[in-house]
Structure formats: C-alpha cells, structure tokens
Structure 1
Amino acid sequence: MLGDMGMARPGPGDDAQTVVRACRSPGAPLVLLLVVVGLAVLAGCRDILTEPAPAGPASLALTMMMPEGDPAGSTEGVAARTGPAATPGAAFDRADRIRIQLRGTRGTRVDLDQEFQSEGALTRIRLELDLSEDEEMAIAVDLRFQGRPLFEAEGTARMTPGESTEAQLTLMGVVDRIQVSEEPILIFALGDEVALSGQGVFASGQAVPGAVPTWESMNLQVARIVGGNRVEAVSNGEAQVLARVGSLVESIFVRVEQRVATVELEPALLELNVLEMATLTVRLRDSNGNPISPGPPVQWWTTSDPGVARVDGNGRVQAMAPGSAEVGALVEGVTGTAAVVVRELAPPEIVTHLLPDGRVGESYNATLEATGGETPYTWSLDSGSLPAGLTLSPAGAISGTPTADGTFTFTVRVTGANELSDTRQFTLVIDPAPEPPTISTSSLPEGMVGESYGATMEASGGSTPYSWSLASGSLPAGLSLSTGGVISGTPTTAGSRTFTVRVTGANDLSSTRQFTLQISAPPPTGADLGVGFGDEQFSLIPAGTFQMGSESGMSGERPVHSVTLTRSFYMQRTPVTQGQWREIMGGSPSACGDTCPVATVSWNEAQEFIQRLNQRYPGRNYRLPTEAEWEYAARAGTTGDYGGTGVLDDMGWYSGNSGGEAHPVALKQPNAWDLYDMHGNVWEWVQDWFRTYSVEAQTDPTGPVNGTQKVLRGGSHASGADSARSAYRFLLAPTIRSGIVGFRLARTP
C-alpha cells in the first residue's frame, strides 16, 4: 500500500522535510502516515507538521486500531456495552491535535506535535529515518481535543536501514470525566432500591466504551450499594454516593424520606362502657411495612357515629351510648380505622354460694367467683367479720390460718370496673384444732453388720396420712428412714446410734421420740480369710476423693491436702498371712501360725514375693498399694483418726489390748469396705518412697521416683494408739526387717 501512495524520496541537494498527514476512511482502521520527502505534497491529505528529517532510508508505517477491533468512526457493538452514546468514532472526529514520540534504544528521538484533522481517504502514517544500524523504537501516540487527551496508544517496533517496518497500535479512549445525574435521588420506603446511572466520557463529550463507574455510599446508615449499581434505602436522611472510574470521582446525593403508605390504629377494637374514655395510638408504615418514627401528624380524626363514640384531635375516644362506630385518622392522604364498641352497664353477680369448713391451726384457702359486669372485680367485706386469722383479698381469696373455732356469718361485696356491685352473705364453720400424732413405737430391734434390716415405726392420733423424718442425730451407716416410717437397709458399721424421729400429721402437727439402735458385728470369718489368693480375699475399693493427712498429728502428716483416685482398685482384706507367704516362698520368717500376719519381711522381700505371685497367677496384677490408696482404704469414707466404728479397740490390735503379741487376722471388726486389721497387728509396707506433703491437690499420686526410705502404715500390736491412726506415717530403709512389719496386697483391675 505504501507504493500505491506514489511517495517520492528527497534527492541530492533537496531540503529534506518530514511531512505528516492524517486521514481516515469510515469503517476502516485509523492509519497515520509519516513520510520523509523533499517538500512533496500527497494528494488528498493535509500537512500537519514539518521538521528537518535525518538522512537515512529506514521507514516506519503505523496503524492505529480501536479497542476490541472497533475501527474509528464505527459504533457497531459498542451500544451493547455502554449505550447508544458510546461512539469512539465520533470522539475521534473531534480530535484537533496529534502528538507522536519515538524513542530509540540507540538514542534516536523523534517528537511530533501538530494540529490534527481527520479527512480524505489516506489512512496511514509513514516515517523515514536515516539509521546506520537496527534500532528498537518505543512509540507513543495521543490524540487531543482542546488540549485534553481523547485517545492514547503505545507500542514498539524494530527499524532496519533500507527496510520498511509496520507497527499496529490500539487506541485506548481516555476518560475525561464521569457523567452522573445532577438531581438528588429520592427514595420513599426503607428497603426500596433505585438503579444508579453514570458513564465515563471523552473530553469531547462522547461516552467512553466500558467506562462504567463503581459506586460507594458515604453514609451506610442512610443508604447502601447493592448489586454493584443500585442504592438501597436504610433509614431516613441524606447520603453522598461516589462514582469512581479509575482515579476520577463524581458524586450524587440520595435522600431517603419515608412516605406514609399505611395508617394503623391501636387497639384495632376498642371496647368501652358509656362515658368511658380511651386514647388510640397511631402507627405509620411505609410501602414496605417499615414503621415511620417520628411520623407526620394526623391531619384530622373522624367518627362514623358521634352519637355512639366521639373523638378529639388527639385521638381520645369517649363512649356516648351503647352501640358501635368506626373511628378514622387521616395522615398524608392515607386513612386508618379502628372499631369502637360501647357496652351496656351491668353489675357483676356473685356465683359462689358455699364456703368449705376450716380447722384451727390448718391453712385455709377459698376463692370467691363472680360473673357479668365489667372486669376487673374488687372484693371487700361489706358486713360482719371473718374468723380470726383469715383475710379477704381484693382478688376474692379468703386465706390464712384460723386461730379460733366457731361459726362465723359475714357479707361480701364484689364491685366491677364500672363501679356497679353485688353482695352475698356467707357462713363459715371453723372446727377445733386436732391433736398431734403420738409415736407408739418404744424401741427398735438390734441389727447386724452385713444383714438386711427393717423396722416400721408406729403412731396414733392426729390426722393421717403421717410423714416421718429424722429430727436430730443420724442412723447407723447403711440405714435410712422413709417418709412412711420404715427404717431399712444393710448396716455397714457396728456400734450404737442415738437419734430422734419426728412424725407429722396431715395438719402439720407433729411429735418426736428418741431411739437407740444397736448394730452388732458379724461373727468372725477369719477361718475364711488369709488363705489362698482368690477374689474372696480382696475388696473392690471405689474411685474417689478424700483429704489426706492430719493437722493434729505429726509434722509429716501435714499439710492436709486433697487427693483424687481416678480408678478403683482391689485391696487385700487382711495383711498377707504366714500361710500365704509359705505357699509362695516355701517357708515362713515368723512363727505365729498360718492365719497370723507374716512379719520380719523387708520391702525388697515383699517385692520378691509379689514377683513370684504374679508369675504363678499371670494377669492378676498383684502389687503393694500406694500410700494414698492405703490411707483412702483405711478411712473408708471416714474423717476421724480411725476407720470403721472410730473406736480403736473395735478395729485392731495395739499395745493397749494385744498383750504384746500378734494375733490371727480378721478377729476385730472390719471397716466399711470390709478391710480387717488396717489399725494395728503389724506395720504394712506401701509402694512409695517417703516425701513431705504439699498443700496442692494430687491426682493418683505414686510418690517420688527415688529415695532412701520407704513408708509404712497402720501401726502394730507393739505400737501405741497414736501410731495406729489412719494418717500416721512411719519409714524404714527397704532392706530392713522387723518382727512387727508385714504387708498387704493390692491389685489393679
């Protein structure tokens, strides 16, 4: 196409000039042609810039395209994106100046800035330059209107001496400003949405394709943007909304003013008596049902029948005569109504005819009833007097506790809200107070530990049914008293308990009686214990929490601290006997007899015994108890110095009752968990190394990992009563034997 233009190159001696002409054909790409000629004039084009040209024969042809292939002057396909006003071709026609800049990588610079006019059929720009070698050119072109940019394009091209290079650049429209509505947007109901309209335009006024603004509300409490280009009313007021295209910002204002669409009167049904007055409340709502507050005032009030109901300018309704009417309120041309019903005046009627009898000392309650008239009712004593101790409430309840017997006559009045009333006479009989019940049971049968116990208390007189309870003291452990007067359960601890029982009649009168209940220990079962290693030799100790130590004991027992054992475990019911030792070890280190506790055993020897026992009975997990497990089991739920009955002579052998020698196991009473000889007979090794206590709560403690002395518990037949306490601690090296030291087994389930 360059050859078809008939261009001439400058000859020797000519004053070389760079001549720029710009033309376009409708519907064709815009092409700017720069030509180096010797003052040549090309037909059909207009000179727009001349300047001295270099002496080299390299040429560059530039072709400018609209975005997305849309040629200058064409609006086809643009309207679908930005509307009919998006006409980049029309904007191109308004361009009045062009600027072209070339920047070469080897220092070549060309700057063209000239008036511009689109006309004729020529659609290219060609530039010839003298170059000594290849050079990469950066190209920048912009078209302007009245000094402001319309289109811009950038690109690169590589020019070679003696060759022609073509480059195609895309013209991009430049948004000069954002066009929005100058009038504020009015919205009359909360929740309504209005579409926002805006467009980025060229400096020449035409719409820039695709230059659609984004929107932002500056007062979200009044209006917010939804769906990208709609504004939604949130509350009454004014909000500035910003339109943004690139760095350009324009604003419009949105004003939310709720308009009345519905007028509601509350209550919708007003029931009145003649001459009674009430005020209606006006509720205003917009077209979306949102309340309007504060709203405009009521323009006027109306009534359909002034003879039945009148209404003043404040919505206060006065009932004039029986009947019905409709009251209306007009606000901003919208009317709301309420129905008014005026009732006939009538007194209430007492419908209660008889009152139930009462009794001295017993709670009394009777409610009077009426019908008709106008509620709420008010009750009062018209004449006479109520029985002493009773009162009549304004709600019609006769209540209280009579204090004197007799027959009482009085008249009651009920008054309706319309001040009309009715009266009725009543007679109320109050009977004398009854006698309290008397407990006829004089003594209770003895019980035995481990055997089911049952005894039924008897009473006479008073009013039935009776209710039994414990007035003071406590029953033996394992027994309870039911409200029906039955003492039952299975005693777990021997001894006697003194307590007081109360029987209460239906009239709340009561009497008490003191009883002493003796619980005997079961016959000794030592012949069954201390022989073999079966399950009958062990008690299952439940998991639990207890206070370990004693504040009144030795320093090693302090401070008292909370210990929680999270797992149940088995504890041997007796110390290991000489017979059990002989069965595993083949001999006995002491000579009291097979049912006596084994003694003269070191901690290390006890561990050897346990190892052999576990080898004979694999899976049964025999071991020594931890120190915490031992004290927890010894206490068996008690908090005193000794478990079981709490009396040491009942529970174990010590220097005060042993005669200075060991005794067969299980001759004394067991504690609540069926453990024998936890106090006295022989000291018992536990698993733990000795350490001092701390005040912090412990969970499943096992003692320190190492030490020099092991802990013993329980005292012995040669020790004093203090050593046999549940909290007492003794310690020895694990290698030492003693004729008063043995041990007891534990098992992990």
Structure 2
Amino acid sequence: MFLPPHWGTYYFTLHYECVDGTSMDVAYSLYAAPAPLVAEWPYPDRGVVGNDYRLQLTAQGGVAPYSWSLTAGTLPPGFTLSSSGLLVAEPAQSSGEFSFTVLVTDAWGTTTSQNLRLDVQDYLITSLGYGPGTVGQPYSARGELDPAGAPYTLEVRSGTIPPGLTLNSQTGRLEGSPTTVGSYAPFIRVHDAQGRLAYLNYVVEILAFHGVPQFQVDSMPDGLVGSEYQAMVAITGGNGGYNLSFPDGEFPPGLAVRTLPCAPNSSVDCKFFVGVPTTAGTYPFVIRAEDQGGLSTSRRFVITVTA
C-alpha cells in the first residue's frame, strides 16, 4: 500500500507479467489532495490589563502559506490581528470577555473559520518588588497584591529563584538568606481567587558580601542663611552605589545632595550636601544609605542654620 507523505500528484509505473509469458508496463498518476484546513486556538486564552499579549494563531492542513482576517465580532481594545495570524496587544487596555471569528485562507483559496473567545482580566499586581540581595544576609521582599483577589497562588513556571530563598506561594514573599552570587530570572505565574492571571518576569541580582555600609562621619557642620554650604558624608563597605533616603526628620531647605568620588580612583562614595540654606532653624534628620546588594545603614544628623 502506498501512502502519500504530502499532497500533490505522484507518477509511477507498474510492471505486469502474465501467465503466458508476456509483460507490459503501465504508467499511472495519483493525486493526493491536501488535508482539510483546520484553524487551531492554542493557549493562553487570557490577557491581563496593562500587560503585553502575543499569540501566534496556527492552522493545519490545506496548502501553506496561510492568511488570517477578522470576519465577525470585535477584538479587545488594544489588540490587533495581522495577516500572518499574530494576535498582539501592547498592552491590553480593557477587561472583559470578547468573542470574535477569524477566517484562515490557504494558498489555494480554501477557507475555514474559527470562533474564539479571549478573556482580558483586570491587572491584579502592582509590583512584586524583588530587589537585589547579598550572599549570607537576610532577604525578605513581597509583592503588592490586590486584597480583593486573595487567596493567591504563585508558581515559578521557568527559571529559578536564588538558592537559599523560598517563594511563599500564597503571599508572594521571597525570603531567606541567598547562598550563591548570580543573576536569577524567575518567570512567575500569579493566579487569584477570581480566576485572574498574571505572568511576570523578574531579575533578582545576588551580590557577594563585602561588609555592611558604614558612615565615616558622625556629624555635619552648621550653616548660615544665604551663604554657600558644603558638607561631605563618606560611606564605605558593602557593594557601593549607595542610594540615600531620608526616612525621618526635615532636610534644610536650599540644600541638595551630590554624589562624587571622595578622591580620584577612589572606591569610596562621598555624598556632598551643597547649596545655599534659605531658612534658619535646627534640622534633625535621618540618612539611610543602601548599597547595590540591598544592605543598609542609618544615622541621625543635625544641621543648625542661623540667620
């Protein structure tokens, strides 16, 4: 039995030998028709407001290439369908259940249609907030999840979380003590009680331990209203690249912070407080310095500005 591997016309010759000793060759042709054209609807069939969406529609049978078009219904706001069958949103704009019909046409003009439904869910996560960490140091970060969607289920679908850390599948908290330097990119699926889905990519950087950041000064000089002011705060230790924040107190109006090396080719960061104070007063405040690995230190300072 001959089973054609592809559609098309096959030519072959059969040789016959008769009982009387005669023989003959007979030429034949066999036409194998293409398989019926079928449109397919692969997963995922859900989008999330605010997230990009990308799905390649596929077909089987018929004669490639295929072209696609929308024949009935409406695509969700923000979505487009290309003639190659690529359904894209950059990003999805509105939630809802959207039903529509697509038509696929093959190279011979054979057509078939498929009724599709795409559910676009409200965005359910503000941020997972997984910042960098340092080997051997406690790490804890969690996502900001919409309380209306609780309880949640989080699952790492691909990639890995840093060794030494665990992901709480209900709260989204990532915690523990990292053990290995590296860059980790877990692909996380979040599913809430209302059936909403989000797929999130995050990169978590784990750096080597080089000590805890330390301030190298204990106090700052006072200033005068209307006069140039400059004070230096040196910070050492940790992984450098310190970010300053002021979690408590009031910074003197008119002053700003500049970051410069303490000396040429120095690995120590210096924060220069510069400007012209505008208002007399006593200004206590707390400076928090955090390095690139998430380690931080805080110190309280006071600047007195006189008229």
User: Normalized per residue, which structure has more strand?
Assistant: 2
- Category of TM-score, reference length = shorter chain: 0.3 to 0.5
TM-score using structure 1 length: 0.18
TM-score using structure 2 length: 0.41
Q: Which has the larger radius of gyration?
A: 1
- Greater RCO (Cα-Cα under 8 Å, separation 6 or more): 2
